[in-house]
C-alpha cells in the first residue's frame, strides 16, 4: 500500500475497515516528511509525538468500537499562522519565535474532533504577506514540481506539503489569493470559502476583513470533505455567518448541464486593451492605461500564452458538457489591486500593533519603553512586514482616512456590486488563478512585481466571495496551471461541483510532481 497519495475517502475507508492503522498512516507520513522535507522545506515544525499520540488514540477508539470522525486518520498540516495549543506557532515571523499558544484555533478543534491528525505546521510568508513564501523569516520552501521555483504563497508550505504527498490535506489562509495561488503553482485544489463561512478564531490576523481559512487538497472531493468539517458559525468570531452548512460532499454531482459560466473580459483583456468603464462619480479614472498617470503601473500584467490556452481548453471542456458561457463585465476589476493595497496594509498595521515584546514572543530589552518597542519590532519584523505596516500607518493617518481607507472601502462596495450584477447572468465566474505559472526564486525583485501576480485573486477577498483553484493542465515545461472559479456568497456547492467536472475533464489525473526530493 502507498497511502501517501490516497484521497481522504480512501484513507478514511482503510482506517475504518482496519486495513491500515492510523499509527501506520502517521508513521508513513512522518517518514515521508523526514525523507522529502529536507529538500522541499514545507514544514516549520513537525509534531511527531503529537501526531503519534493522536494516531494511537484513534486506533484505540476503533478497537473499542467508539464512533470515528469523517477525517479519521487523515494526516493534515496547518499553515503556521493557525494557532495550535502547546505547539509552537510563529506565523513565519521572528517576532513570534518560540511562542507556544495556550489554545487551539476553532478549525484545529474541529479537525481534531473529526479525527484528523495534525502532523505539523507549514511555512509561509511572514504573517501571510507575500506570494512566494520567500518572505518567511525561517526558510525557503521549494515547489515540488521544480525546486528552482517558488511554491507560491503565502500558504506555500501548505501547498507544497500536499502536492508532495507529505500529508493528505492542509489548511491555509487566503487574504488576497494566499490559498488559491500556491495551489495553482503546486498543482492542487485550494478553496477560499465565503468570508465568514469558516471561523477566524485562532488565525493570526493579517487583514481581518479579508482573511479566510480554507483547505488545500489534491482533489476537489477532499476539499469538500475538509470544508464540511471546518465550516460553520462560531460564537467566538463575530464575523462568522450563521447560515446552515449544506452538504458539500453531496454537491459533487459531476454535472454542469445548463450551468452559466461568466467570463469577465477585464481579466482576459491584455493590458493595453483593457478599457475603462463609463464611470459614475468616482472622481478619478478607475482603469487607466499604462501611460496614464493615475495608478502608475499596469493593473493587468497580461496572461502567459500557455495559461491562456489551458483556460480556453477548460472552458471548452465545460461547454462540451453542457455548460453555457456568458460574457460578463466586472468593470472595477482594475481597482482591486490598489484598493487591496490600502485595506490590507491598513488592517495589518493595526493587527500587528500587538507585537510589542511585552506579553509574549520576542523581546529585545531596553531601558526606555519606546526603545523596547523600537528594538523589538525592528528586530522581529521582516522588511515586507515593515513595508506594509508603514503603508497601512500612512493610510490611516489622521486626516487621510477619507482619502485612503474609506475610499478603498467604497471601491470594495463597487467591486461587490459588479459581482452582484454579474451573478444575475451567471452561476460562477471563471478566470485564470494567476497570470503565469510558478516563477523562479528571486524572479520578482520589486514588491510591485510581486503584488501584480495577485491581480486575479484579490477581487474575491474584497467582495467576500468564495473562490477555488483547480488544476487544469501543465505547461510544456511541466509546471501546473490553475483555473479559478468565483461563486456567489455561500455558494461553495456550485464551485465544488464545477471544479469537480474540471478536475475530471482537464485535471492532472495521476501526474505527480517529480521535482524536489526525487518524488
Binding site for other proteins (CB under 8 A): 81-83, 89, 91, 96, 99, 101-103, 105, 200-205, 207-209, 235-239, 346-347, 349-350, 352-356, 358-360, 369-370, 373, 393, 396-398, 401, 405
Q: How far is the CB of 90 from other proteins (least distance, A)?
A: 10
Q: How far is the CB of 213 from other proteins (least distance, A)?
A: 11
Q: Which of 93, 158, 163, 178 is catalytic?
A: 178
Output 49 or 368, the one with its CB closest to other proteins.
Answer: 368
| Inter-residue contact 117 to 58 (CB < 8 Å) | yes
Strands 428-432 and 260-264 come out as parallel
DSSP alpha helix (H) spans, 21-140: 22-40, 48-64, 106-113
SS3 296: coil
d(CA 288, CA 358): 46
Q: How far is the CB of 77 from other proteins (least distance, A)?
A: 17
Output 208 or 285, the one with its CB closest to other proteins.
Answer: 208
How many CB atoms sit inside 10 A of residue 511's CB? 14
- Is 416 a known active-site residue? no
Cβ burial of 308 (10 Å; 0-12, 13-18, 19+) is: middle
| Inter-residue contact 42 to 122 (CB < 8 Å) | yes
Q: How far is the CB of 258 from other proteins (least distance, A)?
A: 36
Q: How far is the CB of 35 from other proteins (least distance, A)?
A: 32
Output 12 or 348, the one with its CB closest to other proteins.
Answer: 348
- Is 154 a known active-site residue? yes
Output 117 or 389, the one with its CB closest to other proteins.
Answer: 389
- Show the beta-strand stretches assigned E in 256-388: 260-264, 324-328
d(CA 438, CA 420): 32
CA dihedral (375, 380, 384, 385) positive or negative? negative
Output 35 or 401, the one with its CB closest to other proteins.
Answer: 401
Q: How far is the CB of 157 from other proteins (least distance, A)?
A: 18
- Calculate the CA 94 to chain-centre distance: 22
- Is 132 a known active-site residue? no
Q: How far is the CB of 51 from other proteins (least distance, A)?
A: 21
Sequence-distant contacts of 403-407: CB under 8 A, at least 24 apart: 404/342, 404/346, 405/342, 405/343, 405/346, 407/342
d(CA 388, CA 297): 19
Q: How far is the CB of 172 from other proteins (least distance, A)?
A: 15
Output 148 or 393, the one with its CB closest to other proteins.
Answer: 393
The angle, 0 to 180 degrees and rounded to 10, between the axes of the packed helices 8-17 and 48-64 is 50
Cβ burial of 296 (10 Å; 0-12, 13-18, 19+) is: exposed
Output 150 or 205, the one with its CB closest to other proteins.
Answer: 205
Output 178 or 349, the one with its CB closest to other proteins.
Answer: 349
d(CA 458, CA 174): 10
d(CA 271, CA 275): 9
d(CA 460, CA 466): 7
Q: Which of 93, 154, 158, 349 is catalytic?
A: 154
Give the residue numbers marked as catalytic. Answer: 79, 154, 178
Amino acid at each position: 500500500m502507498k497511502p501517501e497519495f490516497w484521497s481522504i475517502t480512501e484513507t478514511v475507508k482503510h482506517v475504518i475497515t482496519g486495513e491500515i492503522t492510523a499509527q501506520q498512516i502517521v508513521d508513513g507520513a512522518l517518514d515521508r516528511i523526514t525523507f522529502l522535507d529536507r529538500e522541499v522545506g514545507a514544514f516549520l515544525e513537525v509534531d511527531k509525538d503529537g501526531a503519534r499520540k493522536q494516531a494511537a488514540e484513534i486506533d484505540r477508539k476503533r478497537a473499542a468500537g467508539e464512533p470515528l470522525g469523517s477525517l479519521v486518520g487523515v494526516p493534515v498540516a496547518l499553515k503556521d499562522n493557525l494557532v495550535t495549543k502547546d505547539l509552537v506557532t510563529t506565523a513565519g515571523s521572528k517576532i513570534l519565535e518560540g511562542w507556544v499558544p495556550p489554545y487551539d484555533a476553532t478549525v484545529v478543534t474541529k479537525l481534531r474532533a473529526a479525527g484528523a491528525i495534525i502532523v505539523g505546521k507549514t511555512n509561509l510568508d511572514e504573517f501571510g504577506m507575500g506570494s512566494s513564501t520567500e518572505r518567511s523569516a525561517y526558510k525557503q520552501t521549494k515547489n515540488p514540481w521544480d525546486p528552482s521555483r517558488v511554491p507560491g504563497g503565502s500558504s506555500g508550505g501548505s501547498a507544497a506539503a500536499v502536492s508532495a504527498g507529505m500529508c493528505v490535506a492542509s489548511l491555509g489562509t487566503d487574504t488576497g489569493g494566499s490559498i488559491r495561488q500556491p495551489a495553482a503553482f503546486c498543482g492542487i485544489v485550494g478553496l477560499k470559502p465565503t468570508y465568514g463561512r469558516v471561523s477566524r478564531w485562532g488565525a493570526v490576523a493579517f487583514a481581518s476583513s479579508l482573511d479566510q481559512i480554507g483547505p488545500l487538497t489534491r482533489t476537489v472531493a477532499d476539499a469538500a470533505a475538509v470544508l464540511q468539517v471546518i465550516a460553520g458559525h462560531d460564537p467566538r468570531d463575530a464575523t462568522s455567518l450563521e447560515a446552515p452548512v449544506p452538504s458539500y460532499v453531496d454537491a459533487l454531482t459531476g454535472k454542469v448541464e445548463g450551468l452559466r459560466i461568466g467570463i469577465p473580459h477585464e481579466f482576459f483583456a491584455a493590458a493595453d486593451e483593457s478599457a475603462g468603464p463609463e464611470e459614475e462619480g468616482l472622481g478619478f479614472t478607475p482603469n487607466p492605461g499604462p501611460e496614464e498617470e493615475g495608478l502608475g503601473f499596469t493593473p493587468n500584467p497580461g496572461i502567459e500564452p500557455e495559461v491562456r490556452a489551458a483556460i480556453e481548453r477548460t472552458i471548452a471542456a465545460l461547454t462540451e458538457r453542457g455548460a453555457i458561457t456568458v460574457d460578463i463585465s466586472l468593470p472595477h476589476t482594475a481597482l482591486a489591486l490598489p484598493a487591496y493595497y490600502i485595506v490590507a496594509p491598513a488592517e495589518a498595521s493595526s493587527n500587528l500593533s500587538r507585537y510589542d515584546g511585552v506579553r509574549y514572543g520576542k523581546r529585545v530589552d531596553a531601558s526606555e519603553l519606546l526603545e523596547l518597542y523600537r528594538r523589538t519590532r525592528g528586530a522581529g519584523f521582516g522588511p515586507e512586514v515593515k513595508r506594509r505596516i508603514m503603508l497601512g500607518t500612512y493610510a490611516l493617518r489622521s486626516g487621510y482616512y477619507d482619502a485612503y481607507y474609506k475610499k478603498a472601502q467604497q471601491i470594495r462596495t463597487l467591486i461587490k456590486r459588479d459581482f452582484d450584477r454579474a451573478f444575475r447572468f451567471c452561476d460562477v465566474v471563471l478566470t485564470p488563478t494567476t497570470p503565469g505559472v510558478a516563477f523562479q526564486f528571486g524572479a520578482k525583485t520589486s514588491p510591485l512585481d510581486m503584488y501584480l501576480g495577485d491581480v486575479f485573486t484579490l477581487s474575491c477577498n474584497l467582495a467576500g466571495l468564495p473562490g477555488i483553484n483547480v488544476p487544469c493542465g501543465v505547461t510544456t515545461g511541466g509546471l501546473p496551471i490553475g483555473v479559478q472559479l468565483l461563486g456567489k456568497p455561500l455558494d461553495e456547492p456550485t464551485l465544488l461541483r464545477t471544479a469537480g467536472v474540471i478536475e475530471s475533464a482537464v485535471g492532472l489525473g495521476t501526474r505527480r510532481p517529480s521535482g524536489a526530493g526525487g518524488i
